[in-house]
């Protein structure tokens, strides 16, 4: 186990966090590509109430939907003090925690999201990158609650992450730190959506898992027949199908998860050489595979960690909060901002 602070010590006020063990609730919002989810979150990380709406096709409709969800939660919470709203959004969030500089899946460039929502709801609003918000949630209340140095890696459609160092969320000089999915691991490798070649997420993500599964089908590999039978066609293959068959012992799907796990392990070994975290938590949809993913991750991590015989090795854990991590973390960051301000 890590020798860092206990959850109770964090609640008492960890240096650099600006948080207290009790106080107002926060509202956390997670803006996804298909759904906007929101929750009223107590100071101990419990989601008291939740609500969601589909993400509108028109980006100008997002702030009104967020405001509607907030109002819905507040209507049911007349007796609860709410300190602020935290919004997790995929993309680059400026150091001011108010403006989304660029979002890869939403038509936002220099979008003043905090201002847009704040005009509709009479509460302070802070905006954070969604993976950073999830990392903070795991640090405060999940897999990292007993440490003050956490690397959070989320393996979903792409690869995201967040870094907590000595109790402080590491955001960088411009607010765009921890874009770990775009660490280049293969020079001149596969083209990434960011415009570079060979990025981590092109080999260690749910998208990579599905692409490799479809490639196996395309080669006529007889081992692909069970997956093809479940999917009904190569284009219908999903990461959940691969994981499900792997959990049933399907050899090809076990191999596919093993390959992704190897890439994850190599990538986080490089990150650990730079950051030296005490705990590395792995979350996201692909992490639902459990030990089928974690074991090859652990093996590759230890194999590729520089000078591993002469250093303490970070503990690898599965994330604890699942899809709620971003909501919980965003709400807690909003509480922190309201107490600091």
pLDDT digits (tens, 9 = 90+) for 103-113: 988 989 999 99
Minimum mean pLDDT range among 47-56, 61-70, 285-294: 285-294
Q: What is the DSSP letter of 56?
A: P
pTM over 0.85, yes/no:
yes
Residue 15 — very low, low, confident or very high, per pLDDT cuts 50/70/90? very low
The confidence score (pLDDT) of residue 211 equals: 96
Q: Residue 271's closest CA among 338, 203, 168, 184?
A: 184
pLDDT of residue 5: 58
Q: What pLDDT is recorded for position 125?
A: 97
CA nearest to 97, candidates 139, 136, 151, 59: 136
DSSP per-residue string spanning 159-175: EEEEEEETTEE---SSS
Q: What is the mean pLDDT of residues 239-251?
A: 96
What is the rounded CA–CA span in Å between residue 212 and residue 259?
Answer: 9
Own/partner long-range contacts of 185-194 (Cβ < 8 Å, ≥24 apart): 185/263, 185/266, 185/267, 185/270, 193/104
Q: What is the pLDDT of residues 144-160, one digit of tens each?
A: 999 999 999 999 989 99
Q: Which DSSP category does 32 fall into?
A: -
- Return d(Cα 333, Cα 45) in angstroms, integer: 11
The per-residue pLDDT for 4 is 58
Confidence of residue 22 (pLDDT cuts 50, 70, 90): low
Fold agreement between 7-140+323-340 and 148-205+253-319: yes
Measured in whole angstroms, the distance separating CA 74 from the mean position of its chain's CA atoms is 26
Residues 162-188 pLDDT 10s: 999 999 999 999 999 999 999 999 999
pLDDT of residue 341: 57
Dihedrals phi, psi of 219, to nearest 5 degrees:
-80, -5
Q: Structurally, what CATH architecture does the domain formed by 148-205+253-319 represent? A: 2-Layer Sandwich (3.30)
pLDDT of the residue at 13? 40
Cα separation of 148 and 111, whole Å?
32
Instruction: With cut-offs at 50, 70 and 90, classify the pLDDT of residue 23.
Output: confident
Pick the CATH number of 7-140+323-340 from 3.40.190.10, 3.30.420.40, 3.40.640.10, 3.40.50.720: 3.30.420.40
Whole-number percent of the chain with pLDDT over 70: 93
Instruction: Please say if the pLDDT value at position 313 is more than 80.
Output: yes
Answer yes or no: is pLDDT of 21 > 50.
Answer: no
Q: What is the overall mean pLDDT for the chain?
A: 91
User: Dihedrals φ, ψ of 304, to 5°?
Assistant: -105, -5
Task: Enter the tokens of residue 336.
Answer: 């922190």
Q: List Cβ neighbours of 275 (8 Å cut-off, separation of 6 or more).
A: 149, 151, 163, 165
CA 127-319-148 angle, 5° bins: 70
Sketch the domain layout of the chain as residue ranges: 7-140+323-340, 148-205+253-319
User: Which of 340 and 25 is assigned the larger pLDDT?
Assistant: 25
């Amino acid at each position: 186990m890590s020798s860092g602070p206990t959850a109770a010590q964090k609640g008492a006020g960890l240096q650099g966090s600006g948080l207290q063990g009790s106080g107002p609730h926060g509202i956390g919002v997670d803006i996804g590509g298909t759904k906007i989810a929101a929750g009223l979150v107590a100071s101990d990380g419990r989601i008291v109430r939740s609500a969601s709406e589909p993400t509108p096709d028109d980006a100008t409709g997002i702030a009104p939907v967020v405001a509607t969800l907030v109002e819905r939660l507040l209507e049911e919470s007349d007796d609860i003090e709410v300190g602020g709203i935290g919004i997790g959004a995929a993309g680059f969030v400026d150091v001011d925690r108010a403006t989304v500089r660029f979002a890869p899946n939403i038509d936002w460039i220099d979008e003043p999201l905090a201002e847009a929502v704040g005009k509709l709801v009479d509460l302070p609003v802070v905006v954070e990158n969604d993976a950073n918000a999830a990392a903070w949630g795991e640090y405060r209340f999940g897999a990292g609650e007993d440490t003050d140095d956490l690397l959070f890696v989320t393996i979903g459609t792409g690869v995201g992450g967040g870094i907590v160092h000595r109790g402080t969320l590491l955001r960088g000089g411009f607010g765009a730190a921890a874009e770990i999915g775009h660490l280049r691991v293969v020079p001149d490798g596969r083209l990434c959506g960011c415009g570079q070649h060979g990025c981590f997420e092109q080999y260690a993500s749910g998208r990579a898992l599905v692409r490799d599964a479809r490639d196996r089908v395309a080669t006529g590999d007889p081992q692909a027949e069970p997956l093809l039978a479940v999917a009904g066609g190569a284009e219908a293959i999903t990461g959940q199908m691969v994981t499900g068959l792997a959990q049933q012992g399907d050899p090809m799907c076990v191999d596919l998860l093993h390959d992704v796990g190897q890439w994850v392990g190599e990538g986080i070994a490089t990150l650990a050489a730079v950051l030296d975290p005490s705990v590395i938590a792995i979350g996201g949809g692909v992490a639902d595979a459990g030990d089928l993913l974690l074991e090859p991750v652990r093996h590759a991590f230890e194999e590729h960690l520089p000078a591993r015989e002469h250093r303490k090795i970070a503990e690898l854990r599965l994330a604890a909060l699942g899809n709620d991590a971003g909501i919980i973390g965003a709400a807690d960051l909003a509480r922190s901002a309201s107490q600091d301000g």
